[in-house]
Amino acid sequence: MELARRGFIKGMGALGAAAGISLDAVAQAAKASKPVSKGKAARVPLEVKHIKSACSICPNFCGIDATLVGGVVRTIYPDAARAEFYNHGICPKGASGMYNTYDPYRLKKPLKRTNPKKGRNEDPGWVEISWNEAFDIVAGRLSKIKAEDPRKLVWQHGQGKYLIGENYAVGFTKAFGTPNMVHRTTTCEAARHVADELTWAGGGILPDLKHSKYFLNFGSSYFEGEQASRWLDWQASQSIEKGLKIVVVEPRLSQNAAKADEWVPVRPGKDVAMLLAMAKVLIDAGTIDEPFLVDYTNAPQLVDAAGVILMDKDGKTPLVWDSVSGSAKPYVEGVKPALKGAYSVNGKPVRTAFQVLVDNLKDMTPEAAQEIADVPAATIKRLAQTFAKEARIGEFITLDGQKLRYRPSVLYTFRGLSAKEHGVQGWRTGLILNMLVGNIDAVGGLRLDGAYGRPQYFDVSVCEYPPKRADLAQSVFFPYANHHIAQTPNLVVQDPKAWGLPYNPEMQIFYGTNRPVAVPNSDQQFTGFAMTFNVVIDIVMTESAWYADIVLPDKTYLESWHWAPTRGTPESSHLAIRQPMANPYNLEHDAFTIMWELSKRLGMRDKYADECNKAWGLNTTKFQPGRDYTTREGVEVLWADKAKKEFSVALDKGFIGSKKDVKAQYLNGAEAKFKGAGKAKMKFYADQLIDTYYKVEGIAKKNNLAKVDLAKMKIAYSPLPTLQHAFPTPHLEAKAYPFYVVTHKRMYRYQSGNTVNNAILNQALGKDAATNYVQINTATAKELGVKDGDTVTIETRVGKINGEAQVVQGIRPDTIAVSYHYGQWSPGFAPMGRKGIAINQVLEHHPDLISGHNSFNDTKCKLYKA
């Protein structure tokens, strides 16, 4: 993309003037290094400082090295010292992050709503108030609720969980007494996490690209917006030079697909059919890792006619078919489990879990998958065969003297298989394919972080009813929503009794989230949002803030002290802090001090300190009762307890990192937790799902719960992925809507709350970055009479929205694609920040019934010229 010099200079000048920053400071710094002409007084050189800190615009948490000239942040570069540990480079958002801090549209004073009516076209009648008045109002409301029923408070955060650390919010809500602390994960990757938890009782995966030779990428766009982008993009680039082959399977030609060896444009939502057919190819050809399936997974366990795992007399030990004795036994030393087969136990028919999958796949041929997924049968066969061949089943490799399983072939996803109505089952299908070739925690395979770290995920869900939480997480409605359900409180608040909630939420605090805009069918969200007393803590006047009663300005990540999360990699671990660089608007508070002040006014300061100690897991250095803490002092407490180093190290370097040895990388996970007789097993067959379904069925029938659709629940809670999971609700019902809608992230606006007004992204980089488009295939556009730049209408069963067409070849003819993070309407944003369309307004709402994850990629639509 070329950028005219005149346009760039003009943009920079306008930006500097608007932000109240004299760009003469740069000139002064430059002149300070030049000889001074005789007769002229020498200018005092401006102080130049470098500060190591961490970015928090997105969950990559890149380490940064900022330059300050005369107290003004001038440049932000990646911290070179962290490259060997986790991030290589930073993105355009991070490099221009100072423009978020110096944004003239920043919130600078607390605001109070004077118009009780809430709506998009209502003038809130904002008046500025003092911090003391703001605290009085908020604490007064909270005090009344705490005395009546603390559950009536709902705390929600998005990116805020990374700004100060989620554990402070955990501590605050626990001290207050509400179960309702809700975070952001169901707008991102919750279904993938839950699939991992159900399968190996932990969360956190990455492909071992350093050693991989073949990489099947199902919709992880680490060149655009992924949680491990700054490690994955670098590692992939390094490995490509060493012979790594990459195949990207997704409907749109993303940045990743464009740089891959092969792009496979699968029909949206039909990946499951393609993966099941690939599994059949592997099984039919015998190119599977049978020893791995027997020793590490529950594939040999016996399943009865109801789909339930057969247990020993103790009622808790699974049985396998012992090939030695020809009988059903627990898997202990001396027992040789059969992987395949149908048997009879006590006169009743049983099959191994693996045999159940084989039988389920009887008709799932590549030819059948071709009809569903629109990927040629020959391609499906070839990909499966290559995946198995490159896995080198049965081979070992020696690293640092350790003999390790070697499976340099891996399948990976982020949102591609998970941001759907059947998202958990989507990634479960991918996990099963990885298990078939035995690459879990093998060199070159799929690396697990914390295998079997949370055994409770192998248990039957508690299926709470009545639900305790306003988001219905882990209730009978969403039994395995272990990561909260961001979109649900604003739906439940509209009719709490219909969901069996034994109280009515009255107040919500939103920190660092623009929740209603971030999820499908936004209008439903705003309807609920208007029914509670809302406090919003943010840096700009978002749409959520527009619906607030009290708005409290927050500091940016460049203005405050905080503990900084880091993005883990397979080879290293690290700790980091964030430290302030500037405070151009002399802001007094951030979320940390806001919570501390509210806790004090509510008489729960010591309880809050105690709950923070528990939430952070502090052992040696703790928050003490009877005193306040500044944000720096809070960071010092965490650093002292967790880093065990002088705080001067944090100030100087911003982080500490260490490398993991080979044993820690490859032998402490699946090898230690699952391999062999007498150990827990990876859930190839997720029997806790079928057991949970039967529990849900009983509760729903007993309580006559109309909100529980048992037919849909039975499909969702299958212990193995099935073809039904390739047919989300809109695909079954929206027959008159011919086009599939897919969504995606763009580097420029990923986590848009911090970047909407960023002048570099909106202006200096050009029109392409300032807005989003409706991407349409060239053949489709020709058929519809649509040209590049035309205004088109997207019509779904939810509503209509207009956007600018972008005619491209890199998308399926039956699909349109629209990126997120555009189409903001709040008058509090800069005009350049209100470009494009907000696609969530017309997406249907069909959350995954297992995890609660939003269905971002299942909607169908009509498309025509506006």
Rounded Cα distance, 309 and 329, in Å: 13
Predicted pLDDT at 407: 98
DSSP code per residue over 121-178 = T-----EE--HHHHHHHHHHHHHHHHHH-GGGEEEEESTHIIIIIHHHHHHHHHHHT-
Tokens of residue 414, six digits: 């982020």
3-class state of residue 283 by DSSP: helix
Rounded Cα distance, 115 and 47, in Å: 47
Rounded Cα distance, 672 and 764, in Å: 52
With tokens 């919130």, the residue in question is: 107
Report in angstroms the alpha-carbon separations of 347 from 307, 311, 339, 570: 16, 15, 21, 48
Q: Please, which residues bridge with residue 311 across strands?
A: 318
Rounded Cα distance, 433 and 843, in Å: 30
Rounded Cα distance, 75 and 98, in Å: 8
Tokens of residue 163, six digits: 């700004």
Four-point Cα dihedral 27, 32, 37, 38, nearest 10? 140
* Sheet strands (E) in 252-310: 262-264, 302-303
Question: For residue 508, what are the contacts with CB-CB under 8 A and spacing of at least 6?
Answer: 153, 154, 155, 156, 489, 529, 532, 533, 534, 535
Nearest CA to 179 out of 418, 411, 410, 475 is that of 475
Rounded Cα distance, 415 and 744, in Å: 9
Residue spans of the chain under pLDDT 50: 1-37
Nearest CA to 150 out of 169, 172, 165 is that of 172
Predicted pLDDT at 188: 87
Rounded Cα distance, 654 and 53, in Å: 5
pTM over 0.85: yes
Calculate helix-pair angle for 353-360, 271-285, nearest 10 degrees.
110
3-class state of residue 196 by DSSP: helix
Other residues' Cβ atoms within 10 Å of the Cβ of residue 24: 11
Predicted pLDDT at 752: 59
Predicted pLDDT at 272: 98
CB 595 within 8 A of CB 172: yes
CB 683 within 8 A of CB 200: yes
Q: Please, which residues bridge with residue 54 across strands?
A: 63
Distance of CA 321 to the CA centre of its chain: 40
Tokens of residue 762, six digits: 């909106």
Other residues' Cβ atoms within 10 Å of the Cβ of residue 12: 15
Rounded Cα distance, 625 and 600, in Å: 11
Nearest CA to 623 out of 65, 160, 40, 165 is that of 165
In one-letter notation, the amino acid at residue 432 is: I
Rounded Cα distance, 92 and 796, in Å: 33
Nearest CA to 692 out of 718, 731, 728 is that of 718
Predicted pLDDT at 30: 34
DSSP code per residue over 325-369 = TTEEEE--TT--B-SS-EEEETTEEEEEHHHHHHHHTTT--HHHH
Tokens of residue 719, six digits: 């212990």
Phi, psi values for residue 16, rounded to 5° = -65, -40
Predicted pLDDT at 38: 54
Q: Please, which residues bridge with residue 254 across strands?
A: none
Rounded Cα distance, 130 and 124, in Å: 18
* Sheet strands (E) in 455-608: 507-511, 533-538, 550-553, 562-564, 572-578
Rounded Cα distance, 93 and 304, in Å: 54
Predicted pLDDT at 2: 27
CB 438 within 8 A of CB 409: no
With tokens 């490509």, the residue in question is: 240
3-class state of residue 602 by DSSP: coil
Rounded Cα distance, 368 and 375, in Å: 10
CB 519 within 8 A of CB 854: yes
Question: For residue 207, what are the contacts with CB-CB under 8 A and spacing of at least 6?
Answer: 215, 232, 410, 412, 445, 446, 447
